[in-house]
Amino acid sequence: MTRKSKFYVRSFYPLLDLILAGVFAYFSPYITDWAAPAFGWQHGYFFNIFLASPFMAGAALMSIPITLRQVGFYRKLNMQRAVTALRQLLTFTVYYLCAMGLYTAVFGTPVFHSQILLINLIGIPLVLFLRYLFVRFITHCRINNAEHLRQVILLGESEILQNTWQHMPHHWQRNLNVVGRFNSAEGNEEALQNLIETYHVTDLYVFGGLDAHHQFLPLIEQCEAQGIDINIVLRNRFSSSMRVDLNTIGDTRTIVLSSTPEFSWMMVFKGILDRLVALCILICSSPLWVIAALGIKISDPKGPIFFRQKRSGLYGKVFHMWKFRSMYVDAEARLEEVKAKYGNEMNGPIFKLTNDPRIFKFGHFIRKTSIDELPQLLNILTGDMSIVGPRPLPVYETAAFPKIEHRRRLSVKPGLTCYWQIEDRSDNGDFDNMVAKDLRYIDEWSLWLDVKLFFRTIPAVLFGKGAK
C-alpha cells in the first residue's frame, strides 16, 4: 500500500463517510416528513436529532467509520466487488439496528422520533453505498488511463521477483504501471535514470528483503537521491502477521519487525476496561466466593481456600495466579505419580485429566462451573492478566514447550478466556491446536474481538462447554 493509499484508507474515506452520514442525519427530519405519505405516516414536526440529543447523535456518528472499518469496508481501497461492499454495509446496518433497538428499549423514543431513526437506518447505508460506487467508478477510469497510475520500477532476482509479484493483491497491482524491471545492479544506472525521467517514476519496489537491499544499493541510492519512494518487499519467511515500523534513536534509524498488536489508544482502553469489568464481576460474584469458601473448607478442612501457583505472564515473566483450591493439599507432590498411572489427555506439555483423583468432590463442581477461576479477577486488577488473552500456563509447562515458536503466545498479556476456552477447552487435547488458536487471537487482535470473545464466553461457562 502506497502512502497515498494509506491516507485514503485511514483518514480520507472514513472522514468523508462521517461527513456524509452527518449531513444526511441533519436533513433526515425533512426527508422523513417528505417520505411520510409513502409509508402511511402522519406529518410531524421537524425533529433535529443534533439539538434534541447531541451526545447520542455525536456518539452514533463517530462510531460509523469505526464500525465500517471493523466489517472490512475500507480494506480494499473501494475495489472490492459491489456485492461484497453491499454485504459489508448490510452487516453495518444490522449492528446499528441492534444499537438503536437497545437505545429505544432503555430510553424510549416517541413514534415520530423512531420514524426518523428508521429513515437514517435506511438512508445512511444507501448514501455510503452511492459514495462507494462513485469512488469505484472514478478509480476504474483512472486505471484505464496509464498516465494516472503510479509509475513504478521493480528490482530483484528474476525468480524471487516473479513469484512474489504474482502473489501481490490484484486490486493493488491495478493502481500501478510497471515501466521497468532490473535483475542486477551492475551497469543499469543509466537505463534506470532514463526510465525515471521518461515515465516520471514515483516508486521503486525491491524484492528479496534486506539481502536485496544490499545487492541493489547503488540503484536504491540513485532513486533515493531523487525523492522516489523505496519499498523493500520482505521475503516470504517473515510471518504474514509481521508488522514493520521505523524507529529513530538519536541520529540512528532502525527497522522494527513486530508480530504483536501495535500499542495504541485501543490497548490503553483495553487495560482500563479489563479492570472495570473485573471489578464489576468481582462485586456481582461475591456470593459465589462465600459458597466456594464454605464448600472447600467442608470438603478438605486441612487446606487453604485459595491456591496460588507460579504462572508465565507477559513475555514469560513469572507471577502468582490465584484460584479457588479444587484439589487436595498434596496435589502438586502427586503430579508425576498421577501422570504415570493415568496418563495425560493432552498430547503436549500441558497436563489434563478428566477424573483426576487429586480433585475432591466439591472441586469438580467449581471446576465445571468455572467458579474456581474467579480469584483471577484479582490478577486482572493488579495488571498481571487481562479478561481476554491466552491462558497463563504453569512455569514448568512453559519451560517444556517443544518449539520456540510456541513462546509467541507469551507476547501478549494472558487472560481468563480466549478462542480455545470457548471452542474446545478439554474437549480437544491437541496442544498445537490450542497454540494455533492463541496465535490467531494475537494476529487478529482488536478491541471489538475482545468484546465478541467475552460475550461468547458467557454461554460457554453457563453450559459448561469442555469444562472438567
The C-alpha angle with vertex 335 and arms to 395 and 407, in degrees rounded to 5, equals 25
pLDDT at 305: 95
pLDDT at 393: 94
Average the pLDDT over 134-144 and give the result: 78
pLDDT at residue 466 greater than cutoff 70: no
pTM of the entire predicted model: 0.67
Domain ranges across the chain? 3-143, 149-237, 265-462
Q: For residue 460, what are the contacts with CB-CB under 8 A and spacing of at least 6? A: 417, 421, 422, 425, 466
Give the pLDDT confidence of 249-282 residue by residue, as tens digits: 888 878 787 888 888 888 999 999 999 999 999 9
pLDDT at residue 9 greater than cutoff 80: no
pLDDT at residue 236 greater than cutoff 90: no
User: How many other CB atoms sit within 10 Å of the CB of residue 251?
Assistant: 5
Give the pLDDT confidence of 27-56 residue by residue, as tens digits: 887 777 777 777 666 665 555 666 666 666
Lowest mean pLDDT among 80-89, 98-107, 224-233, 456-465: 98-107
Average the pLDDT over 450-454 and give the result: 92
pLDDT at 54: 67
In whole angstroms, give the CA distance from residue 290 to residue 294.
6
* Residue 243 main-chain phi, psi, to 5 deg: -110, 135
Q: For residue 219, what are the contacts with CB-CB under 8 A and spacing of at least 6? A: 155, 182, 185, 188, 189, 192, 204
463: cell is 453450559
Average the pLDDT over 204-232 and give the result: 90
149-237, what's its fold? Rossmann fold (3.40.50)
* 381-384 long-range Cβ contacts below 8 angstroms, 24+ apart: 381/275, 381/278, 381/279, 381/282, 383/271, 384/313, 384/319, 384/321, 384/413, 384/414
Highest mean pLDDT among 85-94, 185-194, 233-242, 317-326: 317-326
pLDDT at 111: 47
pLDDT band of 126, cuts 50, 70, 90? very high
pLDDT at 316: 92
